[in-house]
Amino acid sequence: MSRISGIDTKPEIKVRRHLHSLGFRYRKNVKELPGKPDIVLPKHRCVIFVHGCFWHGHPNCRRADLPERNKEFWKEKISKTILRDREKEKQLKVLGWRVLTVWQCEIRNRENTESTLNDLVRSIMHG
């Protein structure tokens, strides 16, 4: 687990490259905001979290299945992460930020990536 990187993951880089190519300017991992969002678009008052399906418990995703070994440990760990994510999202909304989430599985293959990123851009622009 110590080799798991929390920042600059491949899915994050994919989302950031797409946004940058369209002229969006952003900040990464802003420590001053609750949850240290992966991408912050100050001009649009919007934050984006790029979540790994397993680590953040993506509902109805096969990548979020818990391992058979030590199942209770993982169940508790992922549950705490989900609760923490919800709390940070509430805090950000109270501060006036729009919160968007991109799941790892949504940008895994080319067709899904294009559709997901286009939806993301529409959400940024039109709230």
- The CATH number linked to 55 is 3.40.960.10
**Is 77 part of any domain?**
yes
Sequence-distant (6+) residues with CB within 8 A of 59 are: none
- Average predicted confidence (pLDDT) for the chain: 93
Dihedral pair phi/psi, residue 100, rounded to 5°: -120, 145
Residue 107 corresponds to which tokens in the numbers above? Answer: 């940008």
Task: Please say if the pLDDT value at position 24 is more than 90.
Answer: yes
The answer to whether residue 24 sits within a structural domain is yes
Residue 42 lies in a domain: yes
pLDDT of 39 strictly over 70: yes
Q: How many residues does the chain have?
A: 127
Tell whether 79 is covered by a domain: yes
Is there a contact between 24 and 88 (Cβ–Cβ < 8 Å)?
Answer: no
**The pLDDT value given to residue 90:** 98
- The whole domain housing 27 covers 10-121
> Is residue 5 in a domain?
no
Of 44, 50, 43, the closest CA to residue 16 belongs to: 50
For the entire predicted model, the pTM comes to 0.91
Q: Give pLDDT tens digits for 43-101.
A: 999 999 999 999 999 999 999 999 999 999 999 999 999 999 999 999 999 999 999 99
Q: How many CA atoms lie within 13 A of 89 on its CB side?
A: 11
Label residue 8 by pLDDT band (50, 70, 90). Answer: confident
Structural tokens at position 11? 């899915």
- Domain contains 1: no
Pairing of strands 46-51, 98-103: parallel
Domain count, the chain: 1
In a domain, 106, yes or no: yes
Residue 2 lies in a domain: no
